[in-house]
Amino acid sequence: MSHTLGIRQAQKQKTRQALLDAALALLEEQSLSSLGLREVTRAVGVAPTAFYRHFRSTADLGVALVEEALGSLHPMIRTTVSATGDPEERVARAIDLIARHVDGYPAHVRFIARERHGGVQPVREAIREQLARFAQEVEVELAEDPVSRGWGEGDLLMLAHLYVDQMLSTASLFLEVLEGPEEERADRTRHVTQLATRQMRLIGLGRQHWLD
């Protein structure tokens, strides 16, 4: 099934990826709506016109970045909220997974947090779609938990959205820690972990007593 790409196409994908990487790096200090096409090509070391061989515009590149940042995250989501182990352990596992992800892909996390409400409409739309998919997958996982026995139609989805928002908020907090001075990192990581743990725990309690 996997056909070896020709030298031609392989080289093209390589510069395409270089453009995406350079853009992501440049977006650490600005928003997508101010990212220039020449700025990106300059960072890669190619002519400005080469950009058009891969993307119609920087907004188009932004949509591609959304796929890269969120598309590969779906398999992880299910295990994050999977219903194995006691509640307390599940919370700890989920937060640990978030922290690891932020550590591994800080630029991706920043990009999503920044452009979710950013100034480029197609990118906002793409993020909205992906997050809605996440919520649906979380919903499926939540439905399998005995605690959700007898829940109404919209109730599961509203809890799923609450969880997704909470994950993003927590990821953003971990990112802020990562951006701060290194000597405060350990303390602040503990602090954020504690805060997120309590919030998750409280939401879990509300979940348990939903049908009262």
Residues binding its own copies (CB under 8 A): 27, 29-34, 110, 113-114, 116-119, 154-155, 158-159, 161-162, 165, 169, 172, 194-195, 198-199, 201-210, 212
Output the smallest distance, CB 19 to DNA, in A.
Answer: 8
The enclosing H or E element of 121 equals: helix 121-143
Taking CB under 7 A as the rule, does residue 2 contact DNA?
no
Enumerate residues 6+ apart whose C-beta is below 8 A from 102. Answer: 109, 171, 174, 175, 178
Taking CB under 7 A as the rule, does residue 43 contact DNA?
no
DSSP 28: T
Q: Which of 18, 167, 157 is nearest to 91 (CA)?
A: 167
| Binder of DNA out of 48, 85, 180, 206 (CB under 7 A) | 48
Taking CB under 7 A as the rule, does residue 149 contact DNA?
no
Q: Which of 126, 131, 129, 137 is nearest to 80 (CA)?
A: 137
Taking CB under 7 A as the rule, does residue 209 contact DNA?
no
Taking CB under 7 A as the rule, does residue 190 contact DNA?
no
Output the smallest distance, CB 29 to its own copies, in A.
Answer: 7
Separation between Cα atoms, residue 25 and residue 19, nearest integer Å: 10
Upper half-sphere CA count for residue 8 (Cβ side, 13 Å): 1
Residue 8 near which of DNA, its own copies, none (CB within 5-8 Å, type-dependent)? DNA
Interface positions with DNA (CB under 7 A): 6-9, 11-12, 14-16, 36-39, 42, 45-50, 52-54, 57-58
